[in-house]
Amino acid sequence: MATSAYGPSRSTRSVCGAAEERAGALAEVRETPVTPVLVTGTVLTTRRVDAYHALTVVAPGIAERFRPGHFVGVTVGGDRTSMLTRRAFFVHDVKPDYGGTVEFVFSVRGPGTAWLAERRARDTLDLVGPLGRPFPLPRDPVTCVLVGAEHGAATLFTVADALQGRGCRVDFVLGAVSADRVFGALRARRMGETTTLTTEDGSLGMRGRVTDVLPGVIADVRADAVYACGPMPVLRGVTAVAVEFDIPVQVAVEEGMACGIGVCMTCVLPVIGDDGVTRMVRSCVEGPVFRGERVRFDDVGTIPFDALGAPGGGTRNAG
């Protein structure tokens, strides 16, 4: 079996059935998709959070429709920019102030996010949202472990609020390469029953990765479910751990999205459907939240030969 630093790389196809019954018992039917709205919002606040930037924007139409796991698409570059595609960001927080505000967190990775980092209060931004399918929530009070890597942790705090509102216990596992890239440690300590922190360089918490400590946390708290967001290798490892414990895992993927509304097909990845057939699905529409055991992490970035419609094999599944 091939392995990676984030855990076993075995195909998830053979383990989908194992979590089916428990996932069905814990998770509600997903909510009816909401209709996104286009908003020209005023920047209310900007702040640095260690290695990251956080922008709060007045966006009433988006805030009132938001559910944990949704994201927004933000136009960057100004009126005369050549950057035509929006940038997608998970929503970190929603508040009722000024009719409704949303906050998103990001790191500077290119000219688009560099432009966003220069925005100041009273500037305006063009946003569309909420986009995607949110996290399903358990019907009954259960124990949930929330795993966040880098600023992927930002989306987990609205999830934690919703879970606690249903009487669920919440425990956090947060990690990153270094202390300045661990997002939300203080808030997690305030919200969670326990919070476990990891850094690869040992500058905060335990030295290592979130997947190194996750098995111990799941066992200690007797977790019923896992929610996770972060880079693909992390989600792959988190899913492998959850599968070993035979508990359902919901992952919010961080695939690159150019349009955010399912048109451009740049964010597709192979996911196994309820019928056992692999399809190339759009992270921005069918996701970004998926059941972890359904995502074929080993095949992300490719079209598996047995995917529906794939050249050389997938068409055999069409019936």
Please spell the DSSP secondary structure of 40-91, one letter per residue: EEEEEEEEEETTEEEEEEE-HHHHHH--TT-EEEE--S-TT-S--S-EEEEE
Domain-located, residue 143: yes
CATH code of 55's domain: 2.40.30.10
Distance CA 12, CA 242 (A): 12
Distance CA 195, CA 40 (A): 37
Among candidate residues 8, 2, 1, the one with its CA nearest the CA of residue 236: 8
Domain-located, residue 195: yes
Residues of the chain by 3-state class (helix, strand, coil), percent to 5: 30, 30, 40
Domain-located, residue 32: no
Distance CA 261, CA 88 (A): 10
Distance CA 233, CA 292 (A): 12
- Alpha-carbon torsion angle 235, 236, 241, 247, nearest 10: 70
Domain-located, residue 202: yes
Pick from 106, 131, 156: which residue ends a domain? 131
Domain-located, residue 190: yes
Residues 219, 80 share a domain: no
Run of H or E including 163? helix 156-165
Q: Tens of pLDDT along 254-278?
A: 877 777 777 888 889 999 999 999 9
Residues 250, 140 share a domain: yes
Domain-located, residue 281: no
Domain-located, residue 284: no
Which residue ranges in the chain fall short of pLDDT 70? Answer: 1-32, 312-319
Pick from 254, 286, 310: which residue ends a domain? 254
Domain that holds residue 235: 3-21+136-254
Domain-located, residue 188: yes
Determine the residue type at 32.
Answer: T
Q: Tens of pLDDT along 125-165?
A: 999 999 999 999 999 999 999 999 999 999 999 999 999 99
Q: From the centroid of its chain, how far is CA 238?
A: 13
Pick from 131, 146, 181: which residue ends a domain? 131
CATH code of 8's domain: 3.40.50.80
| Beta carbons within 8 Å of 182's beta carbon, 6+ residues apart | 50, 153, 174, 175, 176, 197, 199, 204, 205
Residues 171, 206 share a domain: yes
Number of domains into which the chain is organized: 2
Residues 117, 223 share a domain: no
Residue 162 is predicted with a pLDDT of 96
- pTM, entire model: 0.88
